[in-house]
A and B are shown apart, each in its own frame.
Chain A
Amino acid sequence: MKNAQLLARFIGEARDLLQGTSSGLLQLDRGPGDEAALNEVFRGFHTLKGSVGLFDFPAFTKLVHAGEDILTAVRSQDLVLTSDLVDRLLDALDQVSSWVDHLERSGEMPGDADGVSREMTAALRVCLPDPPAGGGDAPAPASRSSVLCVDAPWLATFAPEEREAALSGATASGSALIAFDYLPAEDCFFFGEDPFALVTGLPGLQCLSVTPVASWPAIGTLDPYRCHLRFRGLVLGPSDAVETAFRYVPDQVAMAPVPPGFLGGEATGEGAAPTVEPWAPMARRILGQQREVLAFALEEDGRAARIESVIRTVSGLLATGGHAARSRLWAERTSAASADAAAMTELLDDWLAADGAAAAAPPASGEAVPERAPDRSRPGQADGASQDLKPANRVLKVDQAKVDTLMALIGELVVSKNSLPFLARRAEDIYGSRDMSREIKDLYGVIDRLAQEMQGAIMAVRMLPVSEVFDRLPRLVRDLARRLDKRISLRIEGGDTAADKNMIEVLGDPLIHVIRNAIDHGIETPDLREQAGKPPEAVVRVAAFQENDQVVIEVSDDGRGIDPAKIREKAVAKGILDAERAARLTDQDAINLIFYPGFSTAPEVSDLSGRGVGMDIVVTTVEAAGGTVSVTSETGLGTRVRLSLPLSMAVTRVMLVEVGDTPYGIPMDHIVETVRVRRGAVRHIKQAEAFVLRQSIVPLVRLDRVLDLPDRRVADDPDHEEAVLVVRVAGSLLGLVVDHFREGMDIILKPLDGILSSVRGFAGTALLGDGRVLLVLNLKELL
């Protein structure tokens, strides 16, 4: 159960990391020198690796580990980050992201994950300048383990009697004694690591010493959230068991087998060197790795550099290990054959084979390899990182359903408090107590203010920056541009503009559709652009800003624009209009035809945007959420699409009107004005009625007839004034005849659901303060 929660948290966290990491990668692709982006990407892979380690998903771990290794090489400038490499890393992220989706659905990795991971890991590791163990099959920790110089002074860290106990333990159990030196990263606490628990949890731990890295600072200046400790110890057991225990911090641990000579307390000296010394396991592994590097070098470019590196590594190993004879042989072979890889491979094979039998025996050689100090600071975790992390801890992740419940409850409260004024009136009218009425009204004032503040607060909780959607765009644009051989730079502005979460969600698909359209149809190929005298790199600009209570997203490009003449031709060909009407359309009206269902101007249906779903889908989606879409274009210069959505759809402002004693709500954004029209001023045109409003004819519709209310006797008094609500529906003015105008009010609109959901003409319902149900009209459907 607990594990499931942990997994759920991991999934959320992994998604965030994946998002941030891939945008970082795209940034790197544009500017490879961008150190901040590089650090961000590295941190993404690193953290993913760390958190996935909580679970048993080796395929996942290996893949992100390979990515991390690549980035380590890039950071240390051993590797140049090419576009191709960025592609591979992005592919890896995509794979990881699909695994995360799978984990969310089923709680486990897909069956083919191991195979996929092996392939992708290998594809990544091939790019490494010095593949640590060739291919991706090497256990991850092996590639990073450092070697440690275990000598008498080092062992003197432990008390003599402890060392003796450890030695007797080693001889009794027959297993090797391993020394480790663990220098946790300073910021390890932020990664949920607990070095002391890790170390004391080692099976077979014999001796432990914990010392400060430097001398202790004054107690007043100690930062308790940074680890200043160094752990050294002796542990019994096969070295891979110890490596497994440290598998998540391989870069912070150095370990080596303890030569038995040192354990007696006093160093016993070298003794007689055998003619063929057996290799220590660590040296064996290094030789094996070097041999594999040679195998790689035979078929790869840059072999000279790799062979050079092998020669250096092996010479270094031999020089420090006291293998004098072999060292001479090696020098001879490498200089004489002038870096003949085959000869070197042969020699290494010889050595490794000769040692095969001896390897089974416990490690004995007193050879010491220079200590490579474990990497103290986690790369990419500069000092600022911990300061960044502290505020991040103040952010709560809350399930949206909880926020929605809270909002619904606040909505109920808003509605219930509206009944207090009714109660006050009753207290005065029926019970005749004016004082009581005033008290209730005072109380109402307080509750009203609180309710409004609560409503504002909950709205703010649901507000998200539009960058939630924008973050997906760079990847989209890059992929499309590469596929279509176009050069495009994406400029994003106003990513921090906030809107309600629902709006952000509504916005996602239309926005992507519009951008696809712009790239596919709008932007020309670089040579066409140059012919037209434009820079070969096109600019797609996505800007978000707030305008009154609307959030506006503008997508503009500097492509070929929309040609109204072509649109007219197309519309006629498709039978949407006849030629005469098409010719009468203004250019803007012609351009608006692209919103017409089924309209697509691309000569061929591409798999990008022309999928039979045109801009009409964009319009439908946005309008369903109460927004509008408009497009303007200049031939040859570019197109601008403007999506405008309400900031929040939780609260709707309506005006109440009364027809036949029943109140109806009409959304405020439709309403133009209210007028009184003398019945005598109503013109009858056949069946229809109309009236003149400031020199234009406005058709008149009687709401009671539209709603099929029972016919009422209409007095024929020409001086009777009709209450007419002038509304704008689908761009044209219309007069709605109602019985009475009532006040405007904010309501929480509940859509009709269940059996009522098929009833057309109503946007939904809301509760009035006196308990009556208000029907809110959807004028577009109704008329």
Chain B
Amino acid sequence: MALRFGKNGVTVDGGAGVEDALTLLEYLQSHPAAGVNLRKCETLHTAVLQVILASGRTVSAWPRDAVLARWLRSVFPGRPSPGDRTEPGRR
């Protein structure tokens, strides 16, 4: 299980697989204000990505993996994310 659920958001740590999609969906349904932290995310299955996209949640931090981060950013166009500005500085 690559997902860690907190009160204010969910952290994806490592690789999130298709089996995580339903858990994540249920969590996001029950936590309407939760954000998604992808900093430690290494791979993200389409099904999980789809849940995040469909939920319209903010991504609070982009993955450290530059390639993954780049494509994920282009997938979430025009969504202001607080972590977005700080992230480039980290690299």
Chain A residues close to B by CB (< 8 Å): 159, 162, 184, 189, 193-197, 199-200, 205, 207-210, 212, 216-217, 219-220, 222, 224-225, 227-229
User: In the assembled complex, how far is the CB of residue A220 from the closest CB belonging to chain B, in whole angstroms?
Assistant: 6
Since A159-B77, A216-B56, A222-B25 are in contact, a sample of 7 more A-B pairs with Cβ atoms closer than 8 Å, ordered by chain A residue number, is: A162-B74, A195-B46, A210-B49, A224-B24, A224-B50, A225-B21, A227-B46
Task: Tell me the bound Cα distance from A375 to B47 in angstroms.
Answer: 20
Which single residue of chain A is at the shortest CB-CB distance from B20?
A224
Decide: A217 and B75 in contact? CB cutoff 8 A: no
B44 within 8 A of A: yes
Partner of B43, one of A197, A210, A219, A224: A197
Decide: B44 and A196 in contact? CB cutoff 8 A: yes
B8 within 8 A of A: no
Q: Please name the 10 residue pairs, one residue from A and one from B, whose CB atoms are nearest each other, closest first.
A: A224-B21, A196-B46, A210-B75, A200-B71, A216-B54, A195-B46, A224-B25, A222-B54, A208-B74, A224-B22
12 A-B interface contacts by CB (under 8 A): A189-B46, A193-B46, A195-B46, A196-B45, A199-B71, A210-B49, A219-B28, A219-B29, A219-B56, A225-B18, A225-B47, A229-B50
Task: Tell me the bound Cα distance from A234 to B18 in angstroms.
Answer: 26
Task: Tell me the bound Cα distance from A159 to B45 in angstroms.
Answer: 25
Task: Tell me the bound Cα distance from A420 to B67 in angstroms.
Answer: 67
Which single residue of chain B is at the shortest CB-CB distance from A222?
B54
Decide: A224 and B75 in contact? CB cutoff 8 A: no
Interface flags for B44-87 (1: CB within 8 Å of A; 0: not) read: 11110111011110000000000110010011010000000000
User: In the assembled complex, how far is the CB of residue B63 from the closest CB belonging to chain A, in whole angstroms?
Assistant: 12
Which of A162, A196, A212, A222 gathers most chain B CB within 10 Å?
A196
Which of B25, B46, B51 gathers most chain A CB within 10 Å?
B46
Decide: B47 and A227 in contact? CB cutoff 8 A: yes
Which B residues touch A193, using CB under 8 A? 46
Decide: A219 and B25 in contact? CB cutoff 8 A: yes
Partner of B54, one of A195, A205, A208, A217: A217
Task: Tell me the bound Cα distance from A196 to B44 in angstroms.
Answer: 8
Decide: B18 and A189 in contact? CB cutoff 8 A: yes
Which B residues touch A212, using CB under 8 A? 53-54
Task: Tell me the bound Cα distance from A222 to B28 in angstroms.
Answer: 12
Task: Tell me the bound Cα distance from A205 to B46 in angstroms.
Answer: 17
Which single residue of chain B is at the shortest CB-CB distance from A190?
B18
Task: Tell me the bound Cα distance from A43 to B47 in angstroms.
Answer: 23
Which of B18, B24, B56 gathers most chain A CB within 10 Å?
B18
Which single residue of chain B is at the shortest CB-CB distance from A218?
B54
Task: Tell me the bound Cα distance from A193 to B18 in angstroms.
Answer: 10
Which B residues touch A195, using CB under 8 A? 46
Decide: A224 and B51 in contact? CB cutoff 8 A: yes
User: In the assembled complex, how far is the CB of residue B84 from the closest CB belonging to chain A, in whole angstroms?
Assistant: 15
Task: Tell me the bound Cα distance from A55 to B16 in angstroms.
Answer: 24
Decide: B51 and A229 in contact? CB cutoff 8 A: no
Decide: A194 and B51 in contact? CB cutoff 8 A: no
User: In the assembled complex, how far is the CB of residue B34 from the closest CB belonging to chain A, in whole angstroms?
Assistant: 12
Decide: B18 and A228 in contact? CB cutoff 8 A: no
Which A residues touch B71, using CB under 8 A? 196, 199-200, 205, 208
Which B residues touch A162, using CB under 8 A? 74
User: In the assembled complex, how far is the CB of residue A386 from the closest CB belonging to chain B, in whole angstroms?
Assistant: 13
Decide: A208 and B50 in contact? CB cutoff 8 A: no
Decide: A194 and B28 in contact? CB cutoff 8 A: no
Which single residue of chain B is at the shortest CB-CB distance from A224?
B21
Which A residues touch B53, using CB under 8 A? 210, 212, 216, 229
Task: Tell me the bound Cα distance from A214 to B43 in angstroms.
Answer: 25
User: In the assembled complex, how far is the CB of residue B52 from the closest CB belonging to chain A, in whole angstroms?
Assistant: 11
Which A residues touch B56, using CB under 8 A? 216, 219
Which single residue of chain A is at the shortest CB-CB distance from B76?
A210
Partner of B45, one of A197, A210, A219: A197
Task: Tell me the bound Cα distance from A212 to B53 in angstroms.
Answer: 9
Which of A200, A205, A227, A228 gathers most chain B CB within 10 Å?
A200
Task: Tell me the bound Cα distance from A195 to B53 in angstroms.
Answer: 15
Task: Tell me the bound Cα distance from A199 to B28 in angstroms.
Answer: 26
Which B residues touch A159, using CB under 8 A? 77
Which A residues touch B44, using CB under 8 A? 196
User: In the assembled complex, how far is the CB of residue B71 from the closest CB belonging to chain A, in whole angstroms?
Assistant: 5
Task: Tell me the bound Cα distance from A205 to B70 in angstroms.
Answer: 11
Decide: A196 and B49 in contact? CB cutoff 8 A: yes
Q: Given the known A-B contacts A209-B74, A216-B53, A219-B55, are A197 and B46 also in contact in the complex, defined by CB atoms under 8 Å?
A: yes
User: In the assembled complex, how far is the CB of residue B90 from the closest CB belonging to chain A, in whole angstroms?
Assistant: 21
Which A residues touch B22, using CB under 8 A? 224-225
Which single residue of chain A is at the shortest CB-CB distance from B71?
A200
Task: Tell me the bound Cα distance from A253 to B50 in angstroms.
Answer: 19
User: In the assembled complex, how far is the CB of residue A387 from the closest CB belonging to chain B, in whole angstroms?
Assistant: 15
Task: Tell me the bound Cα distance from A167 to B77 in angstroms.
Answer: 21
User: In the assembled complex, how far is the CB of residue A565 from the closest CB belonging to chain B, in whole angstroms?
Assistant: 70
Which B residues touch A227, using CB under 8 A? 46-47, 50
Task: Tell me the bound Cα distance from A207 to B46 in angstroms.
Answer: 17
Which single residue of chain B is at the shortest CB-CB distance from A195?
B46
Which of B18, B29, B74 gathers most chain A CB within 10 Å?
B74
Q: Given the known A-B contacts A162-B74, A195-B46, are A228 and B67 also in contact in the complex, defined by CB atoms under 8 Å?
A: no
Which B residues touch A216, using CB under 8 A? 53-54, 56
Which single residue of chain B is at the shortest CB-CB distance from A228?
B50
User: In the assembled complex, how far is the CB of residue A158 from the closest CB belonging to chain B, in whole angstroms?
Assistant: 8
Which single residue of chain A is at the shortest CB-CB distance from B67?
A200
Which B residues touch A189, using CB under 8 A? 18, 46-47
Task: Tell me the bound Cα distance from A199 to B71 in angstroms.
Answer: 10
Which of B28, B45, B50 gathers most chain A CB within 10 Å?
B50
Which single residue of chain A is at the shortest CB-CB distance from B28?
A219
Residues of B4-30 whose CB lies within 8 A of A: 18, 21-22, 24-25, 28-29
